[in-house]
Structure 1
């Protein structure tokens, strides 16, 4: 058996065992989880940058951490823009 196919089957079995999101879960807990994940991502980028300045982190890990941080910030900005757009549309509604 090829190593790639065994890794793929392992990943597939892991993905099947991951619980699906609960439709009954509150949106506030989902939002809190998303904010916590965002904070962890940004904190990881900061730690990688500090480690790179001290010489304890290799450049590849730094680039990867900064790319993840950039993606998280771009996603947060896109969500913020959609919320502001929705708020502006609500303000324009006739009463």
Structure 2
């Protein structure tokens, strides 16, 4: 075996761990997205509870209007985020390779 090939084999073996993927903790964006999704679900659930209690006469109509306005705002926000994500995805698909 040639000294140069032995040296190359040693360098290759030493660089192998650098090429292996390292498990990373969830990125901050992932945790923020999970928090956002949970907050959205909680807002919709609260609106459902308020509307059910209003129908049964346990809550005032003002609370129902407020809950519906909050849920409408939440849905509009989610739709806007979805539209931006789809737009970004389509932009990526149009990029030349």
Return the TM-score normalized by structure 1. 0.72
Counting only pairs closer than 5 Å after superposition, residues 66-81 of structure 1 correspond to structure 2 as 66-81=68-83
Query: Which one of 27, 30, 36 corresponds to residue 34 of structure 1?
Result: 36
Greater Cα radius of gyration, structure 1 or 2: 2
Which shows bigger deviation, 51-60 or 25-34?
A: 25-34
Unmatched runs of 5 consecutive residues or more in structure 2: 1-26
Runs of at least 4 residues of structure 1 off by over 3 A? none
Counterpart for residue 66 of structure 2: 64
Deviation at 1:67, TM superposition (A): 0.3
3-state SS in 1 of match to 2:78: helix
Name stretches of at least 5 consecutive residues in structure 1 with no aligned partner: 1-24
Q: Give the structure-2-normalised TM-score.
A: 0.71
Q: Give the whole-Å Cα distance in 1 for the aligned partners of 2:67 and 2:78.
A: 17
3-state secondary structure, aligned to 2:66: helix
Q: Tell me the distance in 2 between the aligned counterparts of 1:42 and 1:68.
A: 8
Q: Deviations over 1:15-68 (max 9, x none)?
A: xxxxxxxxxx71111111111100000001111111111111100000000000
Q: How many residues align?
A: 71
